[in-house]
Amino acid sequence: MTDSYDIAVIGGGIMGCSTALRLAEGGMWPIVLDQGDLGQGASGVNAGTLSLQIKRVKLMPYALRGHRAWEAMGDAIGFRKTGGYTLAFTDGEAELLQERQTLKSEAGAPIEFVTRKALREAAPNLSHKIIAASYCAADGYANSSLTGQYYRGRLRDAGIAYRERCGAMAVRREAGRFAVETPAGTMHARRLLLAAGAWLKPVAAFLGVELPVRVRINTVSVTERMPPLIHHIVGHATGLLTMKQKPNGTVLIGGGWQGRGTPQEGRGEVTAETVAPNLALAQFALTPLKEARILRSWTGFEANVPDFYPLAGPLPGIEDAFVLGCVRGGYTIGPFIGSLMGDLILGREPELPLFDPGRDFDED
Ligand SMILES: Cc1cc2nc3c(=O)[nH]c(=O)nc-3n(C[C@H](O)[C@H](O)[C@H](O)COP(=O)(O)OP(=O)(O)OC[C@H]3O[C@@H](n4cnc5c(N)ncnc54)[C@H](O)[C@@H]3O)c2cc1C
């Protein structure tokens, strides 16, 4: 096997893998390197919710196209288009729901407001304390635990080189190309894409670049198998709940509640103070969940920057190096923004603008 490529992609999550696929389609020869297994980071432990109702308005065109990409990926990654409800229990939440979902619908998401009667008929197990709800027929979910297996197959089919348990330990610019030090030796490439998720900051530091990347430690929980309770995905007006029942009967519960830990330590910790209110909100929304036992709760690291928009473009100050990450709702948007990133690197005009990693970062 050669050690010289057109581009080295550091990070084999959804961002790195989807970009590599586009690059190979465009005739480049990439290698994808991951410090663990492909899809072992956020892309493999997330809640799998593909909901337009929880996307930022400015990212809606990306999320809409992301949804199309998911439909094409289909069963192989557990994609299900179920439609989704977002719920409000108080007047304040109903106002928030109205305000947020109206903006998202104006941005192109097929979101409508539904009456309580219609909701009761479509989803009879949801709480009777709901006072307002919105519905989006395009919403659904995928099975994030299949991400690594899915992309491994796609990379293999496309003839793309990848190395697992082969993390970048250092990167140098040397005679017009990059030298990436790994446990398997030095890989050389003319270009570089940093797609290392929550590990972007230390990876960019190899090249002396300081990225303002911060990390959230999101928690997800899963119940034992339950009889059929709900067909649709379910969210809450505040964004503090996402829920779906899988075909095997288990119910997956998330909502961005924070655990403890750092990516450098390798794994995060779940805390009772945040899991308890997350589960209480789930049980309040879907009453029969009171009978369910929780089998497992876990955490994953999600990267962001101060304005909560993606880093997607050239790495500031380093010719031929690029960065892709910090995409809010990144599982949904990943397959599409990866193809945009690929187009940029191939020298093609991307269908939608990317997000300059060298911009000023003001808090939103
Ligand atoms: C718990 C949780 C729940 C979420 N729920 C949702 C959801 O329901 N819907 C949604 O749309 N989004 C969700 N997200 C966000 C989404 O998962 C992320 O935005 C997306 O997966 C990020 O993809 P990525 O490829 O940038 O990062 P990752 O998937 O983390 O990939 C980065 C990869 O880089 C590798 N790496 C790091 N350092 C190195 C190195 N030195 N050398 C080589 N490889 C390296 C890591 O091992 C990792 O595999 C959630 C996130 C979390 C954490």
Residues 237 and 86 sit within 8 Å (Cβ to Cβ): yes
Nearest CA to ligand 1 atom 21: 43
Locate the ligand 1 atom nearest the alpha carbon of residue 217 and give its number: 53
Ligand 1 contact, 13 CB (< 6 A)? yes
pLDDT attached to residue 61 = 98
> Global pTM?
0.97
Q: Which of 128, 115, 51, 131 is nearest to 83 (CA)?
A: 51
The angle formed by the CA atoms of residues 259, 260 and 265, to the nearest 5 degrees, is 130
pLDDT attached to residue 346 = 98
Alpha-carbon separation of residue 151 from 21, 74, 106, 168, 229 (angstroms): 9, 13, 34, 20, 31
Question: Residue 265, Cβ neighbours under 10 Å: how many?
Answer: 9
Q: Please state which CATH class domain 4-43+145-213+306-346 belongs to.
A: alpha beta
Ligand 1 contact, 302 CB (< 6 A)? yes
pLDDT attached to residue 266 = 78
pLDDT attached to residue 357 = 98
Ligand 1 contact, 84 CB (< 6 A)? no
Q: Which residues of the chain have pLDDT under 70?
A: 1-2, 362-364
Mutation to probe ligand 1, out of 9, 18, 31, 35 (largest number of atoms < 8 A from CB) = 35
CA gap 270, 14 in Å, rounded: 24
CA gap 280, 257 in Å, rounded: 12
Taking the centre of ligand 1 as the mean of its atom positions, its distance from the CA of residue 14, in whole angstroms, is 7
CATH (residue range 80-140+214-304)? 3.30.9.10
pLDDT attached to residue 168 = 98
CA gap 141, 82 in Å, rounded: 8
Ligand 1 contact, 140 CB (< 6 A)? no
Nearest CA to ligand 1 atom 33: 11
pLDDT attached to residue 167 = 98
pLDDT attached to residue 166 = 98
Ligand 1 contact, 59 CB (< 6 A)? no
Ligand 1 contact, 255 CB (< 6 A)? no
Looking at the chain, the domain(s) classified CATH 3.30.9.10 span: 80-140+214-304
Taking the centre of ligand 1 as the mean of its atom positions, its distance from the CA of residue 120, in whole angstroms, is 36
Ligand 1 contact, 150 CB (< 6 A)? no
Ligand 1 contact, 278 CB (< 6 A)? no
Ligand 1 contact, 195 CB (< 6 A)? yes
Ligand 1 contact, 198 CB (< 6 A)? yes
Ligand 1 contact, 48 CB (< 6 A)? yes
What are φ and ψ of residue 230, in 5° steps? -155, 135
Ligand 1 contact, 222 CB (< 6 A)? no
Strand 84-88 and strand 233-236: pairing?
A: parallel
Ligand 1 contact, 114 CB (< 6 A)? no
The residue written with tokens 């995905």 in the block is: 233
CA gap 282, 333 in Å, rounded: 25
What are residue 194's DSSP bridge partners?
10, 323
Residues 221 and 278 sit within 8 Å (Cβ to Cβ): yes
Task: Read off the amino acid at residue 122.
Answer: A
Nearest CA to ligand 1 atom 4: 46
What are φ and ψ of residue 342, in 5° steps? -60, -45
List, in order, residues 6 or more apart from 247 with CB less than 8 Å away.
Answer: 80
> Counting beta carbons within 10 angstroms of the beta carbon of residue 159, is it exposed (0 to 12), middle (13 to 18) or buried (19 or more)?
exposed
What are residue 311's DSSP bridge partners?
325
Looking at the chain, the domain(s) classified CATH 3.50.50.60 span: 4-43+145-213+306-346
Taking the centre of ligand 1 as the mean of its atom positions, its distance from the CA of residue 270, in whole angstroms, is 18
pLDDT attached to residue 3 = 77
pLDDT attached to residue 320 = 98
Mutation to probe ligand 1, out of 10, 199, 217 (largest number of atoms < 8 A from CB) = 199
pLDDT attached to residue 241 = 98
Nearest CA to ligand 1 atom 50: 46
CA gap 3, 81 in Å, rounded: 42
> Counting beta carbons within 10 angstroms of the beta carbon of residue 92, is it exposed (0 to 12), middle (13 to 18) or buried (19 or more)?
exposed
